[in-house]
């Protein structure tokens, strides 16, 4: 049975990596200064970060439409894929999973020769990327759907994000912290530590130096 992995663009794999690993990807939508882009397709991350640095305007994002997922299901079916194993950004942070599910329900009214298994990773950033890498590797070695599911069940029990925010600039610009709080934090060089908990980002502490982050 031909199994393939399906992810969204927050997985942070390049188009070349997706092609090399034979992974299907549905991009998020980015709205920046009245221009709309498909994440990782119409605009590279490096270009996006450069524009953010130079602009006072914050980009906004939205999940892919059900139509985008539907077209991807059709592409996979036409390529002879028999099972799509979907792994997506945490549903606590985005509606990606919802769009994928709507498209699946519509698709299965028309076709019955593609099995679509959708999974809410409850992850973000590096743990999501690492999980996708691992699953794509075992799929490319010939793992069947049940084997992929078993590996994912193990991965999700031990995947966790811990991140150090080096600057408060973008948290302030996005409105996640107030201007006064950001100013005080910058003045005393305070850096927040963020972690993942049940699919959400939470504060797990504060520190002033990289060394303290590494030993905490």
Do 91 and 139 reside in the same domain of the chain? yes
- Domain boundary among the residues 158, 181, 199 is at 158
User: Hunting for tokens 């950033």 — which residue is that?
Assistant: 125
Do 87 and 115 reside in the same domain of the chain? yes
Whether residue 79 lies inside any domain: the answer is yes
Do 105 and 129 reside in the same domain of the chain? yes
Helix axes 96-107, 66-78, angle to 10 degrees: 50
Backbone angles phi, psi at 83, to 5 degrees: -140, 130
CATH number at residue 19: 3.40.50.10440
Whether residue 24 lies inside any domain: the answer is yes
Do 132 and 167 reside in the same domain of the chain? no
Whether residue 183 lies inside any domain: the answer is yes
Do 84 and 185 reside in the same domain of the chain? no
Lowest mean pLDDT among 21-30, 83-92, 165-174: 165-174
Confidence of residue 175 (pLDDT cuts 50, 70, 90): very low
Whether residue 38 lies inside any domain: the answer is no
Inter-CA distances, 113 with 16, 31, 131, 147, 187, Å: 28, 36, 27, 20, 60
Do 154 and 166 reside in the same domain of the chain? no
Nearest to 86 by CA among 62, 58, 119, 57: 119
Number of domains in the chain: 2
CA–CA dist 188, 61 (Å, integer): 32
pLDDT, residue 98, reads: 97
Do 16 and 100 reside in the same domain of the chain? yes
- Domain boundary among the residues 158, 178, 204 is at 158
What pLDDT digit, counting tens, does each position of 78-123 carry?
A: 999 999 999 999 999 899 999 999 999 999 999 999 999 999 999 9
Mean pLDDT of 152-177: 69
Lowest mean pLDDT among 49-53, 74-78, 141-145, 198-202: 198-202
pLDDT, residue 179, reads: 42
CATH number at residue 193: 3.30.1180.10
Backbone angles phi, psi at 137, to 5 degrees: -65, -45
Do 167 and 180 reside in the same domain of the chain? yes
CA–CA dist 68, 70 (Å, integer): 5
CA–CA dist 39, 194 (Å, integer): 24
Output the furthest CA–CA distance in the chain (Å, rounded): 60
pTM score: 0.84
Whether residue 46 lies inside any domain: the answer is no
pLDDT, residue 205, reads: 66
Domain that holds residue 110: 3-28+63-158
Do 96 and 195 reside in the same domain of the chain? no
* The most confident of 12-26, 30-44, 97-111, by mean pLDDT: 97-111
Whether residue 57 lies inside any domain: the answer is no
Confidence of residue 215 (pLDDT cuts 50, 70, 90): very low
Whether residue 50 lies inside any domain: the answer is no
Do 146 and 198 reside in the same domain of the chain? no
Q: Within 10 Å of residue 104's Cβ, how many Cβ atoms? A: 20
Do 206 and 145 reside in the same domain of the chain? no
Nearest to 193 by CA among 130, 171, 48: 171
Average pLDDT, the chain: 84
CA–CA dist 216, 212 (Å, integer): 6
Whether residue 16 lies inside any domain: the answer is yes
Strands of 94-177, DSSP E: 115-120, 162-164
Do 168 and 88 reside in the same domain of the chain? no
């Amino acid at each position: 049975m031909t199994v393939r992995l399906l992810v969204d663009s927050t997985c942070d794999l390049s188009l070349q990596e997706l092609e090399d690993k034979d992974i299907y990807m549905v991009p998020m939508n980015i709205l920046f200064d009245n221009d709309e882009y498909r994440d990782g397709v119409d605009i590279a991350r490096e270009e996006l970060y450069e524009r953010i640095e130079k602009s006072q305007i914050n980009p906004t994002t939205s999940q892919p439409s059900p139509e985008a997922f539907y077209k991807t299901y059709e592409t996979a079916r036409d390529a002879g894929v028999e099972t799509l194993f979907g792994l997506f950004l945490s549903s606590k942070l985005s509606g990606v999973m919802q769009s994928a599910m709507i498209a699946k329900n519509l698709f299965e009214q028309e076709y019955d020769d593609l099995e679509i298994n959708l999974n809410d990773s409850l992850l973000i950033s590096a743990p999501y990327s690492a999980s996708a890498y691992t699953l794509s590797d075992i799929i490319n070695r010939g793992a069947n759907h049940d084997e992929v599911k078993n590996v994912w069940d193990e991965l999700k029990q031990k995947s966790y994000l811990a991140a150090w925010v080096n600057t408060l600039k973008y948290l302030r610009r996005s409105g996640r912290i107030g201007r006064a709080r950001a100013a005080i934090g910058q003045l005393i060089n305070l850096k927040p530590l963020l972690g993942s908990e049940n699919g959400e980002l939470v504060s797990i502490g504060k520190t002033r130096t990289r060394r303290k982050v590494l030993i905490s």
